[in-house]
Amino acid sequence: MSERKIVIPGETIEEGNDFLPGEGTEKTGEKIIALRYGLAEESNRLVKVIPLSGVYNPRRGNVVIGKVEILTFNGWVINIGTAENAFLSLAEVPGFVNKDGLDEIMDIGDMATVKISGINKRGVDVTIKSRGLGRIDEGIIVSVNPNKVPRIIGKEGSMINLIKEETKSNITVGQNGYVWIQGDKIEDELFAKKAILFVTEKSFTSGLTEEVKKWFEENKK
Amino acid sequence: MTYKRKDGRKNDEMRSPIIAKVGIVPNADGSAMFQIGKTIAIAAVYGPKKMHPQHSQNPERGTLRCTYNMLSFSVEDRIRPGPSRRSTEISKITQWALDPVVMLNNYPNMVVDVHISITQADAGTRCAGINAAAMALAHAGIPMRDMVSSVAVGKMDKTIVLDLDKYEDSEFEDGEGSTDIPMSFTNNGEMTHLQLDGKITKEQLKEAAKMAQKASKEIYEIQKKALKESLGDLK
């Protein structure tokens, strides 16, 4: 199988023992069947299904954007749009934090970029011990369908770099579908937002980067 | 004396048109519409999300929760909106028909909500509902072992016929009268649901099951086509 194809649950993707079942697939007897609706892809004999729809599934290492909901005595509870709220522990914050001054770092209602450090039965644990993570002070946040996030980023960041360059803005794409745009002028930020919404709308056309380049030429004032 | 169908269908012929569409409720995580003859069902899936009330959470695996609802204008005489004895039963039946295929082991304490609305009812609403729900679940990206396709078989007097319509289901009273037997199958051919109230011989039930199994394959192909085409021309 060289091309990617859409599969539905229960559909046989490959037969025989030449392939290994990857994510979203299962091996029953000689067949590799899809366990979910999406695009089936094969690389290095590993068959997997890339989801095209549905809710965001948190994974370790993902950078996401969320809203602080609760302050506890040892950390923050952050809503990242998943079934389980994320917990940011005091220990995961760089530098010294006064236990009485949690709200000085982040208060209820603040938005923050965080990285998922682990997922367990009780919920999602996040950290801000990395560059570019932490409270969001300025800019705008756009919400998009989480399944379109790979399209906004593009192959090795080609799409997002193009948008960043053209709008002179700094953009952080959370895997959960929140996009943080920070530019010098509000016009730049709104222009970047427009570009991102254009990408999500046209997400299924091939040669999307070229299309977006054309769009920028047409819409640039 | 054999029974002759009023609308001129063959005994093993389903109503037409059979139309399936995916992604018709933009706010839902997954949605689908299924029409067979004059019966139309819409299913919307939300989740997986945290189960509320908390006491119904299952820490071992996620839960599937179905609600079937007939809209007040779906039949000729307006029906009273809201849950009834009948709709509660069908909700439960739908849940049982779909439970064997959904794999919610990795979603402890969570729930997947399936809301089925019947916008137009002309017999066979639970089957249309299950078909729509299976597509909506797939569309929502819920892990599933297989698809589920549902169809009803009936016994009109002594003749086995496929996919009863309103007249055959509720008005026909000649001889032994009519018996409605809704069944659901996975694409593998395994049965996930069978309902029967009425009398039927063992041989005839086997015949009915075979007929339904064959028809469910046809429905599966329609569901498959709808899911694959919902993305438009990808390439």
**Chain A: residue whose CA lies nearest to B223:** A8
CA–CA separation, A188 vs A6, rounded Å? 37
Per-residue pLDDT, B1: 60
Distance from CA of A188 to the nearest CA of B (A): 29
For chain B, say whether A188 makes contact (Cβ under 8 Å). Answer: no
State the DSSP code for B102: B
Are residues B29 and A54, on separate chains, in Cβ contact within 8 Å?
yes
Decide if A31 touches B, using CB distance below 8 A.
no
According to DSSP, residue B103 is labeled -
Distance in Å, alpha carbon of A213 to nearest chain B alpha carbon = 20
- At B235, the pLDDT band (50, 70, 90 cuts) reads very low
On whether any CB of chain B is under 8 Å from the CB of A11, the answer is yes
d(CA A171, CA A161): 9
Question: How does pLDDT run along chain A (221 residues), one tens digit per residue?
Answer: 456 789 999 999 998 888 999 999 999 889 999 999 998 988 888 999 988 888 898 999 999 999 999 999 989 999 998 888 899 999 999 988 888 888 888 999 999 999 999 998 778 999 999 888 999 999 999 999 898 898 899 888 999 999 999 999 999 999 999 999 999 999 999 999 999 999 988 877 777 888 888 899 888 76
Q: Running DSSP on this structure, what letter comes out for residue A27?
A: E
Instruction: Say yes or no to pLDDT of B231 above 80.
Output: no
| ipTM of this complex prediction, to 2 decimal places | 0.87
Residue B49 to residue A9, Cβ atoms within 8 A: no
What's the gap in Å between the CA of A10 and the closest CA on chain B?
4
pLDDT value at B97 more than 50:
yes
pLDDT value of residue A1: 47
A2 contacts chain B (CB < 8 A): no
Contact status of B50 with chain A (Cβ, < 8 Å): yes
Angle, alpha carbons B26-B31-B35 (nearest 5°): 120
Flag whether residue A54 sits within 8 Å of chain B, measured between CB atoms.
Answer: yes
**Are residues B131 and B187 in contact, defined by beta-carbon separation less than 8 angstroms?**
no
Q: CB–CB of A55 and B145 under 8 A?
A: no
Q: Do A55 and B47 touch (CB under 8 A)?
A: yes
- What domains are defined for chain A? 5-51 (2.40.50.100), 63-135 (2.40.50.140), 140-219 (3.30.1370.10)
Listed in sequence order, the residues at least 6 apart from B107 whose beta carbon sits closer than 8 Å to its beta carbon are: A83, B48, B61, B62
User: Phi/psi of residue A34, each to 5°?
Assistant: -80, 140
- d(CA A11, CA B34) in angstroms, rounded, equals 20
pLDDT, residue A13, reads: 92
**Cα separation of B173 and B43, whole Å?**
33
Are B48 and A84 in contact (CB < 8 Å)? no
Which among A35, A55, A84 has the least Cβ separation from residue B103?
Answer: A35
Identify the structural domains of chain B with CATH numbers, from first to last: 18-226 (3.30.230.70)
Q: Report the C-alpha gap between B8 and A74 in whole angstroms.
A: 73
Helices (H), chain A: 102-105, 149-153, 158-167, 186-201, 208-219
**What tens digit of pLDDT does each residue of B26-47 get?**
999 999 999 999 999 999 999 8
> Taking the CA atoms of chain B, what radius of gyration do you get in angstroms?
18
CB-facing half-sphere around the CA of A45: CA atoms within 13 A: 5
Q: Could you tell me how many CB contacts below 8 A there are between chain A and chain B? A: 78
Task: Supply the pLDDT for residue A221.
Answer: 64
Burial track A91-109 (b if 16+ CB lie within 10 A, e otherwise): ebbeeeeeeeebeebbeee
**Mean pLDDT across B86-110:** 95
d(CA A161, CA A151): 12
B81 three-class SS: coil
Cross-strand partners of B10: none
Kindly tell me the burial class for residue A113, based on how many C-beta atoms sit within 10 Å of its own C-beta (0-12, 13-18, 19 or more).
buried
Contact A86, A121 (CB under 8 A): no
Give the span between the Cα atoms of A34 and B181, in whole angstroms: 31
**What whole-number distance in Å separates Cα of residue A137 and Cα of residue A217?**
31
